Structure 1
């Protein structure tokens, strides 16, 4: 498999890269992937005579197989595995989605065409990148990150609170232990008509917070950044 050595070179040298894959126009798919809690990388692959897309990819038989951490060559038994394909954002070149092998493993995905033969996708696990780029030291505060269309990336730590993003507006809600809304804290417009942003003050469960809404881009994925600072 000629594409595998190139994929493994990227997989083994690019920092924070936890998934790299090639999807060919001829029906070939091959990927290297490492789980967060395991050092053992695996290959995920299938081959089909039909072109691949997200609508028909679940029709094929997918396999996972352990690979050498030094060479990337598969060894041992190949195991049939169900695919997991979820892109949470609409930008096909930079998106938020899950890994090919775990629907709970959130990734920033960068995809590019390759000489008309297919596409290459680089996947960076969200949690380590946020720990590196978005350390938050606000005493008693919390940080919330989401995509522009409201998919939560970092949910924040204020208890019994839900943040809902819709269009250019942010709604802060109070919820009970079952996730049912029991109150409305307020709404924030992230960008005013003149392009500026404003600080908003809220009282959440008898604690005062200031909220400043701003835009953030990580690996091409556009996010809404909402730091809650207590005072």
Structure 2
């Protein structure tokens, strides 16, 4: 844990105001991505960065959070990954948290608020290739709200409650279902099924996360399957 790096609004620090709306109300969103960089600044990279940034723009628009342009995000990204490499961290997870910013009491907010933009670098945990996993259907329900479906907003209580059901460490993932017992997604994953030559995945029209890997699989899956089914 001592190798975690945090950059907040372009400065290396690890705390935010107690009045930050992300802390008080979950008023914000986040992105999580894989990054890599050998001992060479020119080799820095983030998997699917452009896709992640497009989703950042979309999420900010949905929540009406004013964010800086892409160049500022690129500057922050380069700044934190360069320091990570100097600390001999060459790959890991990059998490970006964006909140509406610091405000007073109450749910209403000013239209010109300065957002809080947090970059966090986590070094990769030791892992091994997984051929199969154990899963469990969760009793906890997932929120149904078409207005923010697909958005990685900061209120993750559905997943927190569901993960608390997984007491057995051999269970890798918990599965959410809707009121009709239709499978929706995992607590931290999207779900796909292969049926004959078709690739099937649940709809996230009213609930769930539109993961970047889900997006990528739906695009490139057309090369390997005769049919892509979302239902």
| Shared fold (TM-score, shorter chain, > 0.5) | no
TM-score, normalised with respect to structure 1: 0.27
User: Greater helix percent: which structure?
Assistant: 2
User: Greater strand percent: which structure?
Assistant: 1
TM-score, normalised with respect to structure 2: 0.27
Larger RCO, structure (CA 8 Å, separation 6 or more): 2
